Amino acid sequence: MERLIFALFLVIIAAAAGCRREQRRFSEAPEASELHPDPLHAAQRDQQNLERYAKDAWAISEGQRLYGQMNCAGCHGHGGGGGMAPPLMDSQWLYGSGLRDIERTILSGSARGMPAFKDRLTRQQVWQLVGYVRSLSGNAPSSAAPVRDDHMSVRPPPSRTDPEPPTQQVD
């Protein structure tokens, strides 16, 4: 009987091996496709990756790092409250709140002076950033959203921020 139970537990554990939670992809396979992109394939890949990255804790935290290193924080605020540039933690999205919209904005910038990061970031990095940007307004799963960094605490943790229903702002 005891043996039976232990066997049962072994099965449970083994079952876990199936799921790949928190696997860290250090580099996405076809980086080269950025040089000669097959548009259709690229579009599918982007959509899938965007969705995956938007709920991946590690990807989001990489996005958090880039948000600081690429000076996003300088304009949008360390907590996404905005400054020279609009806030990212509120419900208003000038250029759309969809993953693809945010990706586009980061890649090609905006007419109002946001620089294009097409040449400064890999696609993967952009996806990571998109994930982080979404988390700022509470739109990331709380289990994946960042909690705090080791710096001055300037805002309530994104993981505890209630999701803002996105609205298009007319300005």
Partner 1 sequence: MDPYSALDPAGTPAALSLRLFYGYLDVSAVVFTLVIAALGFALGRPRQPAADYQEASPAIERSKSRAVVWATVATVLTLLGLLIASVATGHAMALLPAEPPVRVQVISHKWWWEFRYPVSGSATQFSTAYELHIPVARPIQLELVATDVIHSFWVPSLSGKRDAIPGKHNVLFLQADRPGRYEGQCAEFCGTQHANMRFLVVAERPDQFVAWRDHQLASPPPPSDPLRQRGLEVFMNSRCSSCHAIAGTDAFATVGPDLTHLGARRRLAMGTLENDSTHLSHWIEDPQAAKPGVQMPSTPLSPEDRHALVAYLEGLK
Partner 2 sequence: MNSTFEPTLAEASPAAEPRQRSTLYDLLATTEHTAIGRRFIATALGFFLVGGVLALLMRLQLATPLAHVMGPDRYNQLFTTHGSTMMFLFAVPIMQGLGLYFVPLMVGARNLAFPRLANFAFWIYLFGGLFLYIALLSNTGPDAGWFSYVPLAGPEHSPGKRVDVWAQLITFTELSALSVAVNLIVTTFKHKAPGLSLDRLPIFVWASLVTSFMVVFAMPAVIIASSCLALDRLVATHFFNPAEGGDALLWQHMFWFFGHPEVYIIFLPGVGMVSEIVVTASKRPMFGYVPVVLANVATAILAFGLWVHHMFATGLPQLGASFFTGASILIAIPTGVQFFCWIATLWGSRPKVDVPFGFVLAFFATFLIGGLTGVMLAAVPINLQVHDTFFVVAHFHYVLIGGAVFPLFGGLTHWFPKLTGRLLSERLGWLSCGLVFVGFNLAFFPQHLLGLRGMPRRIYTYLPETGWGFWNFVSTIGAFTLGLGALVFLFNAARTLRSGARASANPFRAYSLEWALSSPPPRSADRIVPVAASRYPLWLGELGRVEGLARDEVLVTRVVDAEPDHVGHAPTPTIMPPITALATAVLIVACLFTPWGLPVGVVLVSLTLFVWFWPTDREPAFQTRERVSSESVGKEVLP
Partner 3 sequence: MYQLGNRARPRRRSRRLVSFPSWFVTFAVWAAAAGCQKHVEVAPKAERAIPASGSAVSARPDSASDDGQWTMPAKDFENTRFSSLEQISTGNVKQLRLVWTRSTGVKRGHEAAPLAVGDSLFVVTPYPNHLLAFDLKAPGSAPKWEYVPETNPAAQGVACCDVVNRGAAYWDGRVYFNTLDAQTVAVDATSGRELWRVKLGEVNRGETMTMAPLVVKGQVLVGNSGGEMGVRGWLTALDAATGKINWRAWSTGPDADVLIGPDFKPFYQSERGQDLGVSTWPVEQWKIGGGNVWGFVSYDPTLDLIYYGTANPGPWNPQGRPGANKWTAGIFARRPDDGRAVWFYQWNPHDVFDHDGINENVLFDMTFGAQQRRVLAHADRNGYLYILDRVSGEVLSATPFGPITSSRGVDLKTGELQLVSEMIPQLGRVTRNICPAAPGAKDWQPMAFSPKTGLLYIPHQNLCMDEEGLEANYIAGTPYVGAAVRYRPGPGGNLGVLSAWDPARAAARWTLKEPFPVWSGALATAGGLVFYGTMDGWFKAVDANDGHLLWKFKTDSGVISQPITYRGPDGKQYIALLDGVGGWAGAAVAANLDARDQSAANGFVYPMADLKNATKRGGAVYVFALP
Which residues bind to partner 3, rule: CB under 8 A? Answer: 68-71, 73-75, 77-87, 89-90, 92, 110-115, 120, 150-152, 154-156
The reply on whether position 107 binds partner 1 by CB under 8 A is no
Among 11, 12, 32, 111, binds partner 2 (CB under 8 A): 12
Among 45, 55, 70, 104, binds partner 1 (CB under 8 A): 70
19 binds, among partner 2, partner 3, partner 1, none (CB under 5 to 8 A by kind): partner 2
Of residues 43 through 102, those in contact with partner 2 by CB under 8 A are 57-58, 60-61, 64
Residue 5 CA, chain-centre distance (Å), reads 42
- Among residues 107, 87, 117, which one has the least CA distance to residue 42? 107
Token pair, residue 168, equals: 């298009």
* Cβ within 8 Å of residue 107, ≥6 positions away: 116, 117, 118, 126
Token pair, residue 98, equals: 């969809």
- Rounded to a whole number of angstroms, the minimum distance from the CB of residue 63 to partner 1 is 13
Residue (22 or 171) nearer to partner 3, CB: 171
**x/- contact string, 20-39, with partner 2 (CB under 8 A)?**
xxxxx-x-------------
Please say whether the beta carbons of 145 and 71 come within 8 A.
no
Give the C-alpha separation, 14 to 80, whole Å: 42
* Cβ within 8 Å of residue 157, ≥6 positions away: 145, 146, 147, 148
- Rounded to a whole number of angstroms, the minimum distance from the CB of residue 84 to partner 3 is 6
Residue labelled with tokens 């505890």 = 160
The residues of the shown chain that bind partner 2, judged by CB under 8 A, are 1-2, 5-6, 9, 12-14, 16-24, 26, 57-58, 60-61, 64, 142-144, 146-153, 156-157, 159-160
